[in-house]
Structure 1
Amino acid sequence: MLLFRFEHQRLKHAGPQALLYNVRDSYWPVAGRNLARKIVHECVTCRRFRGKTLTPIMGNLPKDRITPSFPFLRCGVDYAGPVLILNRKGRGAKLIKGYICLFVCFVTRAVHLELVSDLSTDAYLLALKRFISRRGKPSDIYSDNGRNFVGLMTEFTKFISTCSADIVEYATTQNINFKFIPPYSPHFGGLWEAGVKSCKHHLLRSLGNSHLTFEELTTLLSQIEAILNSRPLSPMSSDPSDFEPLSPGHFLIGRPVTAPAVADYIDTPTLNLNRYQRIEKTRQHFWARWVREYISEMLIRTKWKTKKPDLKPNTLVVLKQDNIPPLKWSFGRILYTVPGKDGVSRTAVIKTASGIVRRSFSTICPCRTQHWKRVLPRRGHVGAVI
């Protein structure tokens, strides 16, 4: 076993097959294949690189995403960028950094894009005010907490850490609930991450190597916003007599910011309604199709279909981090898990050397100890020297 460990380290942590091949150059170990697998499996360095995170069963859709409401009443916000902007037209123009602030509706998946000039509290609040003026005041805004951005980790972390108090204070005065997702868990905000990806898809292909001024780029983002809001929410039918598929634009056109509550006209004959009631019936018809076509499609689970055992308190784990190598990942012990509304835990509170943190299961690698049976060598079963 000592020989296999030495060769495993000398060969820079080679796999079982390569390890056994090199040992057999000088020795013929009995049951060498099993011993090589055991050495590689028990190697601490190799196990840290092979660490697998937990994948709990796919949860139900949040209540905020399946409850009919006005567009952008409950939404998520994210930043994309930086993008390079010309400070003026003509020769001698300089390039400055700009950022795209994206708002996405939880119910209709409608997208609203705002171009901001810098990462500051004032720029963010001005973008939020423009959004409220055009789309109406939201009741809940979900956001990253600044630790999910990998490419611009330093800038975004500094922005959120210095401006979060002012942002939350403004949202509180406006009766808006501002909520953050767990750290290092961008998949908790998959809705706005997908929106950023779609926005970049059109933006990069439209711009190419050219640079635009602030007004020109704002116009381009408005056109991209219109394209994103024209995408179908449900699969399109091949039958020409079927309804046109719903899109976010169906829910954005014709809705006043302060629309009053109205009666349900779905089952009322159209001939018995006046013009205003017919418009309301058309809007309610969109919501009925939204429940029948879009929500039924979203309820299908494509992966993570099985329920797995929960993490127990005092379990030793490794915390996966994207910005540092695996050998520098920190250890911790589970204090307790946080169950969701469906009773399935997807986040845990962990005690580390630097303090108590909260992480999602997708960044936790349990350190399960494999108990090997101790096999004593029998007489005559000694490796023969060649």
Structure 2
Amino acid sequence: MTWPKFPSNSSINHNIEQEKRAVVVLTTTEIDDSIFVRYSELGKLLKVVAMCIRFGTNCRSPKAERVFGNLTPAEIDRALKSMVRLAQVNSFPKEIQQLKCHKLDPTKPIEFDTKSALKTLNIRLDQSDHLRLDGRLGNAAGPYDSKFPMILPAKHPLSFLIARSLHHRTAHSGPGLLLATMRQRFWPMRGRELVRNIVRKCITCFRCRPADYHQQMAPLPAVRVVPSRVLSKAGLDYCGPFNVRPLYGRGANVKMYVAIFVCLAVKAVHIEIVPNLTSAACISAIKRFVARRGRLIELQCDNATAFVGADRELKSLRRRYLEQFKTEEWKGYCIDSGISFRFIPARSPHFGGLWEAGVKSFKHHFRRIFGASSYTLDEFTTAATHIESILNSRPLTPLTDHPDDLAVLTPGHFLVGEAMFSIPEPDMTNDQRTPAQNIYKGALVLLKQEELPPFMWNIGRVEETYTGADGLVRVVLVRTNRGVYKRAVTEVRVLPIDGHDTNKLPTARMLDDDR
């Protein structure tokens, strides 16, 4: 078998001209920085980068020089510097290019853009092409990173990861300590803003010191601004218990409670004595209220804070207080009497600020009437009624705008046409910043004790006073029945006896504030 033979006079043309075409290729270089957002922890990011760098080094190295096993601190540090350089190239490409050109030709000036974040800083480029802050500590003894910290771009994911890692390593330090720790090696742009965001967004720090949430105050409800008959729409709250001793004999003290009704329109107060926390006792108090003040249309009540406390007895009282409003007897009475009963939201005492303020005012006057002494039911009822008249004499607004008219409008004007109880008050407008009267030896004082109410503070007598260079007494030595104590004058309360002028004492402001 042989190959076929072609004729020599073939018509193939061997003189074909070669066609040349010019091809232009446009390339662009984009830096992939998605690795910064793939990991939420700096340690994990650095381990992944360090393993990638090791893999690349091993691929270019002979088999005998390849590295295996656990990562070393040097490899982690190398990975960190690589990430910092990548973040800098991504954020400051023009600045780095200008610094490189200046490094090759020192005669060429460095002119950063007017909008550059680095224009106000003295920047240098090290041998590894890292942007560093150049300062005056070049001759100081210390690490190179401390003398010339690496620049961290503002609002970059790497800056956030480094700051959060140092925040955890420093036991959730505050913004000041966190920024100082970062600047030992890095110089974060807008660093104070960065560390504040880290601390503010830290869940552990927030749970240790949660910030209150405040919303704009809502408009006053209709019952507060629509005119209505006095005490036809009221709020109810309890206070107590109060230990009332028996009228005759030596019986045990009886627990009594006080029901405070506050008018939602004019802030008038009505007080009733309640023997217990049952529904029957509460209904009886409302019946007495209606018999003397007229029909009740709407009644609002506290729903969470009246008797909340750590003590088991207080919790039991709170439970009984709420249960009395859920019985069929109570619901039937409200339906038959045409009373609309409403609860405020749970754990929201500010929704019932009117009756909460009424309870506070009642306790304020009650403590000053009885203190720690015991009282009978008759004395208890008389004091409650007396306090009711005082609360209904509080000024609401001036009656006229005339400067010579000192009359004021009170809740008592809506009840009886005038203030039910009026006490002249001293003029407190002349408050001068002058030295207070010195406490003298032998003065009777109360020793302030934070864990006890004021009426249970120990009474003592001043045995020695310690005068400063200006002649003012700021420390005293007090003898009580429990020993001798040296206290600052701010920790004692001088009793208004023995001819002492309490208006000139430094502790008299407490009485004015409580008033």
Output the TM-score relative to the length of structure 1. Answer: 0.58
2:279 to 121, 129, 144: 121
Give the CA deviation at 1:188. 1.3
Which of 64, 73, 77 does residue 223 from structure 2 map onto? Answer: 64
Write the distance in 1 (CA, Å) between the matches of 2:215 and 2:398: 28
Aligned to 1:132: 290
Rounded Cα–Cα distance in structure 1 between residues aligned with 2:287 and 2:236: 13
2:215 aligned partner, one-letter code:
T
Q: Is the 8 A contact 2:278 2:320 kept in 1?
A: no
Partner of residue 160, structure 1: 322
1-structure distance, mates of 2:172, 2:330: 49
Supply the distance in 2 between the matched residues of 1:69 and 1:98 (Cα, whole angstroms): 32
Following the alignment from structure 1 to structure 2, what is the Cα–Cα distance between the partners of residues 4 and 96?
62
The secondary structure found in structure 1 opposite 2:299 is strand
Among 393, 405, 408, the residue aligned to 1:245: 408
**Residue 177 of structure 2 is aligned to residue 18 of structure 1:** yes
- Which structure is larger by alpha-carbon Rg, 1 or 2? 2
- The answer to whether the 8 A contact 2:399-2:409 is kept is no
Query: 1:221-300 to 2 correspondence within 5 Å?
Result: 221-235=384-398, 241-242=404-405, 244-253=407-416
Aligned residue in 1 for 2:246? 87
User: 1:127 deviation in Å?
Assistant: 1.1
The CA distance in 2 between the partners of 1:23 and 1:96, in whole Å, is: 65
Following superposition, the deviation at residue 89 of structure 1 comes to 4.7
How many Å apart are 1:218 and its aligned residue? 0.8
Contact 1:89/1:213 (8 A) holds in 2: no
Q: Post-superposition shift, 1:95?
A: 3.0
**Corresponding residue number in structure 1 for 2:341:** 178
Task: Compute the displacement of 1:4 (Å).
Answer: 5.1
Q: Structure 2: which amino acid aligns with 1:143? A: C
Call closer, same or farther: CA 1:169–1:30 in 2, change over 3 Å. Answer: same
Native 8 Å contact 2:268 2:412 kept in 1: yes
1:249 and 1:126 mapped to 2: Cα distance?
A: 25
Residue 220 of structure 1 pairs with residue 383 of structure 2: yes
Map 1:348-367 → 2, pairs under 5 A? none
Give yes or no for the alignment of 1:50 onto 2:210: yes
Gaps of 5+ in 1: 255-282, 287-386
Q: Which amino acid aligns with 2:308?
A: V
Contact 2:174–2:199 (Cα < 8 Å) also in 1: yes
Say which of 192, 210, 232 aligns to 2:373: 210
1:239, CA displacement in angstroms? Answer: 5.0
Structure 2 counterpart of 1:290? none
Q: CA deviation at 1:23?
A: 5.9
Q: Does the 8 Å contact 1:146/1:157 carry over to 2?
A: no
Residue identity (%): 42
Q: 2:228 & 2:194 partners in 1: Cα distance?
A: 62
Distance in 2 of aligned mates of 1:238 and 1:12? 61
For 1:102 and 1:203, locate their aligned partners in 2 and report how far apart those are by CA, in whole Å: 13
**CA shift in 2, pair 1:148/1:221, >3 Å:** closer
Aligned residues of 1:234 and 1:245 also touching (Cα < 8 A): yes
Query: Secondary structure at the residue paired with 1:113?
Result: strand
User: Structure 1 residues 246, 6: closer, same or farther in 2, change over 3 A?
Assistant: same
User: Does structure 1 retain, via aligned residues, the 8 Å contact 2:167–2:173?
Assistant: yes
Q: Distance in 1 between matches of 2:226 and 2:163?
A: 60
Q: Against the structure 1 CA distance between its residues 89 and 239, is the aligned structure 2 distance closer, same or farther, given a 3 Å change threshold?
A: farther
Amino acid at match of 2:173: A
| 2:324–2:330 Cα contact (<8 Å) kept | no
SS in structure 2 opposite 1:212? Answer: coil
Corresponding position: 1:194 with 2:352: no
Query: Following TM superposition, by how much is the alpha carbon of 1:148 offset from its aligned partner in structure 2, in angstroms?
Result: 5.8
CA positional deviation for 1:14: 2.2
Counterpart-to-counterpart distance in 2, 1:101 and 1:123: 10
Q: Deviations over 1:167-226 (max 9, x none)?
A: 232111111111111222111111111111111111111111112112210110000001
What's the offset of the Cα at 1:227? 0.7
Report Cα offsets for 1:96-151 as digits up to 9, x if no partner: 32221000112221101112122111211111111111111211111122456534
* Higher relative contact order, chain-length normalized (CA < 8 Å, sep 6+): 1
Do the aligned residues in 2 keep the contact of 1:87 with 1:94 (CA within 8 Å)? yes
Partners in 1 of 2:169 and 2:330 — Cα distance? Answer: 54
Q: Structure 1 residues 93 and 75, CA, compared in 2 at 3 Å: closer, same or farther?
A: same
Q: With structure 2 as the length reference, what TM-score do the two structures score?
A: 0.44
Confirm or deny: 8 A CA contact 2:260 2:269 kept in the other structure: yes
Amino acid at match of 1:211: S
Structure 2: 5+ residue runs without aligned partners?
A: 1-41, 44-161, 420-515
Change (3 A) 1:239 1:162: closer
SS at match of 2:300: strand
- How far is 1:86 from its partner? 1.5
Q: Is the 8 A contact 1:147 1:157 kept in 2?
A: no
Distance 1:38 1:190 in 2: 35
Contact 1:66 1:107 in 2 (8 A): yes
Q: In the alignment, residue 200 of structure 1 is paired with which amino acid? A: K
User: What amino acid maps onto 1:122 in structure 2?
Assistant: A
**1:33 positional shift:** 4.9
Partner of 1:337: none
2:260 alignment partner in structure 1: 102
Any residues of structure 2 matched to 1:313-332 within 5 Å, and which?
none
Alignment match of 2:303 (pick from 127, 141, 145): 145
Q: Distance in 1 between matches of 2:335 and 2:176?
A: 61
Q: Which segment drifts farther, 211-220 or 157-166?
A: 157-166
